[in-house]
Structure formats: C-alpha cells, structure tokens
A and B are shown apart, each in its own frame.
Chain A
C-alpha cells in the first residue's frame, strides 16, 4: 500500500495560497463541467443571441421611424447587450450553486476546508466567465448583422460591464441565499427575479419615461446609471462620472447586503441540516 504512510501533518489551510487554491478548485470544477457538455455552453449563448437579433431588427425598424433612435445607431442593441451582462452575471452565480445542488455535492464541498466566503468569491469568478461566454459572441455577431459594435463605446464599456457584474453578484448572492434556505423550491424564482429590474432600470427608455413615483426607486438601482450613462455617451457623447460613482457606491451597499444574506443563509442551513438535504 504505497499511499499509506504515517498520518501526514496536513497544512492548516489558512495561507492565502491555500485560499486561492480552493477558489481555483471551484472554478476548475465548473470549467470541467462546461468542457464536458457543449449544450451547457450553447445554452449560455442562446438567449443573448436571440435577444440581440430581435432587438437588432426592432432597432432597424425604429431607426426609420424615430429620430431619437436614429440619432444613435444601435442604441437598443447596446442596451440589450448590457442588459444581458447583468442577467448572465446573476445567472452565472445562481447556476453554479444549482449545479452543486443538482449533483448533491454540498456535503462533500463543505466537509472540505472550503469557507463560505471563498465559495462566494468562486461564484463571482464563475459569473464573469459565464457572462463573457454568453455576451461576447452576441456582441461580435452584432457587428456584421447590424453594423453596430458595442466595443466602439471604448473604456466606459469596461466600466459599465464592471458595474453590471457587481449588481449581478449582489442579486446572485441574494438568490443563492434563497436557494440555500428554501432548496430547489426557489429555483424558478431564482431564474425570474432579475427581470423585475428590466422595466425599472430604463434599459430601453430614459428614466424620465417612468411615472414620477417610480423614478426614485429606479435611481436607487445601479444598472439605471449604466443605461442612462450609455445613452449619454451614444446620444450626447458625454461620459457621466457622477453616474459611475453613484453606481459603484450603491453596488458596494448591495453586495454587502447580498454577502450578509448568503452567510446568514449558510449558517442557518448548518443549523437546520440543509447542507445534507439540498433537494426540494
């Protein structure tokens, strides 16, 4: 029995390299999963592609009817691509957690020295990977199809992406907390929840379109600043740093709320025995 020697002194696992190794392990687990199943990767790209094509044609039609849309070619395509960054960012987190629930792997994971916060960071990394897989092909395809390149926005695009990803993480952490608390019974809600932001955040229209009582709620949501900021760049050629600062500040608050909810849900799951029973 070559593998059996004296019981080894195992490293305590507190070093930064150990923490990074565990986060890397969770990233690797999901990369293996995606590599093993092309349909999972195709699924990530399918809806963003479909959305981009639909809104591309709507944009083309409206550009011939509306001077507002005509002023900035691809306004609606840019909006839908950024919207998909937010949606895929949240789905990326939720899906990674659901994969562990579907495969009944929770107990193995949390008997290992994987801390909930490390798992949370891994989920954030996975949401970046999944959102890039989902949105970049659509963004590239929009160039030959509709002669619109979102990359023309330049550096602000990176900032918009970061802001939307952060909001996706905040909502994703809240949904992960719900899934841990309520199990797969909360799965449908976890998929649908993010869409409540679509009408409020002014994805396709300015916030001034909303009734006045709804506008303060809209300005309390970070994506609003991204979509307004995008229109400001595309229509007026102005990058609003005040929007950026507001969005970042709000994101810090929402991520703190999401992370707290996630850690509380995890502790509650340990009290209720839900880490062993992650089904319905």
Chain B
C-alpha cells in the first residue's frame, strides 16, 4: 500500500479522515488492530470485509460513538478524540441497524434531527429533501409503518439534513430491492459530485463498491490487508470482479504478489 503524501506537520493535504494506529480491544477480543488510512476530500471510499472484520467498529470510532484503545483519528482536520463536538455538525451517518423512532411521523423525526443539527429553517430543508428523495407523500406517515426501502430513504434524508461534508454509511443498500438500491446509489453519486462531499461506506455488495467507489480498504480480522481502486485490486489479484478479490482475501486463497507472477 503506498503511503500518502504528507505535509511538514505530518498531515495529509485534502484529507477528510486520517487514522493512525487505530486499535480497539474489547477485553480479550482485538476488534481493530493498528489500522492506518486516509480518505481524501471528494472521494467515495469503501470499507470492505467479512462479518467481524472490524468495519462497523472502525466506523463507530470515526463517529466518536466508540473510544479507541489506541491510535489517533483526525476528521475534517480536527482531533476526533478531543474535539468531537466541533466535527459532529459537519458529518452524518446512516445505518440500517439504527432506527428512527417508529411512533413519530417522518416529518416529526426529521424536524427533531433538524433541530439537533441546529438548522435555522428545518421545515424548509425537509421540504427540499422530500422533493429530492421523492418522499413528500410519506411525510405524515408513522416511520414504523414504512417499508424497508422507504425507511432507507428516510434514514438517508436524516443523514443529509445538515448537508454533511462527510457521510459515513453502514451498508446503505442492505435489504433493498434492486430498483431502490440502484436509485440510492445514483443519489449518493450525485450528492458527492454535486457537493464535493466525501463518503465512507461499509458494504457487502461488491457491484455497488465497483460502481461507486474510487478507493477500497480491504479489512480482515481487524486489519487493513489491502487497498486500492477497484480496477487496481482486480488487476493485482488477476481476477475478473471485486467479489473474486474479496473471496481470495477472505479465504486466504491468493496473495497479490502471487497473482502478479
């Protein structure tokens, strides 16, 4: 993995995420083991790995929901461990495993989060997002009564309320039908392109990663074991698809050096 260029103070120019020596230990379990990586501004980066590879733990530490055992995290130029509250208004997060309150209507949920993000005109922003993400007809419905696809759209709307410069997404298209999943991917592409925002997403969908991401971090057993653009990784492992590369890494079948021979 090539080391990123750094400035005199050791930071990477244009980096939105800089992680060095990140480690998380839960008693005897080493969930994340000395991980270092950088995400540059405007990039869509994927965090790939099997179940238990450390993706969600890494994202949780980036969000400040989890305190690392060791290592440093800089997000949007700030030390996340010391100045978390300076950064949180500028990023957002969505996961199919974290719900919005079911008994509130979509509008009520978005209004609450709009105020939490200190939006001056939350109602106006909700109307904009409802038009963009095509959920105006859902605004007065209870969130718990929505389908999976509708919930994903609302979760995405919540994640976009504050116009985040950095979006962290955990499996953004999990449990969606192909049509809705394609729609969400298109929207994310347009959002990143239109705003210059950066996205870090954890996914098990290799086709999604090939389509959206310019950079892929491959995790296994808490470590980053490889990194590169999807095309580079496919070429390095001598494979046809990113899924084949994923399986090679997950099953210890081939090393990149071996593939190059």
A binds B: yes
Q: How large is the interface on B (under 10, 10 to 19, 20 to 34, 35 or more residues)?
A: 35 or more
- CA gap between A193 and B63 in the complex, in Å: 34
Min Cβ gap A24→B in Å is 6
> What 1/0 mask marks residues of chain A from 4 to 22 whose CB sits below 8 Å from any chain B CB?
1111101111100010011
Kindly identify, within residues 58 to 96 of chain B, every residue whose CB is under 8 Å from any CB belonging to chain A. 60, 63-67, 85-86, 88-93, 95
Residues from chain A with a CB closer than 8 A to the CB of B255 are none
Q: How far is the CA of A156 from the CA of B164 in the complex (A)?
A: 51
Chain B 12-32 interface residues, beta-carbon cutoff 8 Å to A: 26
The answer on a CB contact under 8 Å between B65 and A109 is no
CA distance A28 to B114 in the complex (A): 12
Q: Judge if A113 is at the interface, Cβ distance under 8 Å.
A: yes
**Could you tell me the distance in whole angstroms from the C-beta of A117 to the nearest C-beta in chain B?**
11
By a CB distance below 8 angstroms, the chain B residues around A5 are: 163, 194-195
Picked from A1, A10, A114, A276, the residue with its CB within 8 Å of the CB of B116 is A114
Known contacts A14-B85, A104-B98; is A25 also within 8 Å of B195 by CB? Answer: no
When the two chains form their complex, are residues A33 and B115 in contact, meaning their CB atoms are under 8 A apart? no
User: Which residue on B lies nearest to A115, using beta carbons?
Assistant: B85
B250 in contact (CB, < 8 A): no
Is the beta-carbon distance between B115 and A28 smaller than 8 angstroms?
A: yes
- Enumerate A80-121 residues with CB–CB distance to B below 8 Å: 99-100, 103-115
B99 x A104 contact (CB < 8 A)? yes
Q: Which residues does chain B contribute within 8 Å of A11, judged by CB atoms?
A: 89, 118
A267 close to chain B: CB less than 8 A: yes
**Complex-state Cα separation, A32 to B100, whole angstroms:** 13
Binds A, one of B2-10, B101-109, B172-180: B101-109
Which residues of chain B are within 8 angstroms of A12 by Cβ–Cβ distance? Answer: 86, 89
Q: Collect the chain A residues with CB atoms within 8 Å of residue B129's CB.
A: 3
- How far is the CB of B102 from the nearest CB of chain A, in Å? 6
CB distance from A6 to the nearest CB of B (A): 6
- Note all chain A residues with C-beta closer than 8 A to B190: 1, 4
Partner of A7, one of B95, B112, B197: B197
Residue of A with least CB distance to B155: A108
Assess whether B98 is in contact with A107, with CB atoms less than 8 Å apart: yes
With a cutoff of 8 Å between Cβ atoms, the chain A residues found around residue B163 in the complex are 3, 5, 7-8, 10
Residue of A nearest to B190 (CB): A1
**Quick check: B118 and A18 within 8 Å, CB to CB?**
yes
The smallest C-beta distance from A102 to any residue of chain B, in angstroms, reads 9
Please pick, from B60, B63, B88, B104, the residue contacting A33 in the complex, using a CB distance under 8 A: B104
- Bound CA span A2–B197, Å: 16
Give the docked Cα–Cα distance between A7 and B196 (Å): 7
Cross-chain contact A36 with B64 (CB below 8 angstroms): no
B residues with CB within 8 A of A: 26, 56-57, 60, 63-67, 85-86, 88-93, 95, 97-105, 108, 111-118, 125, 128-129, 131-132, 142, 158, 160, 162-165, 190-191, 194-197
10 tightest A-B CB contacts, nearest first: A25-B115, A4-B194, A3-B128, A112-B116, A113-B88, A103-B101, A107-B98, A10-B89, A8-B163, A32-B108
12 A-B contacts (beta carbon < 8 Å):
A2-B132, A3-B125, A11-B118, A22-B116, A25-B114, A26-B112, A26-B116, A29-B112, A105-B98, A111-B93, A113-B85, A270-B66
Binding site for B on A (CB under 8 A): 1-8, 10-14, 18, 21-22, 24-26, 28-29, 32-33, 36-37, 99-100, 103-115, 267, 270-273, 275-276
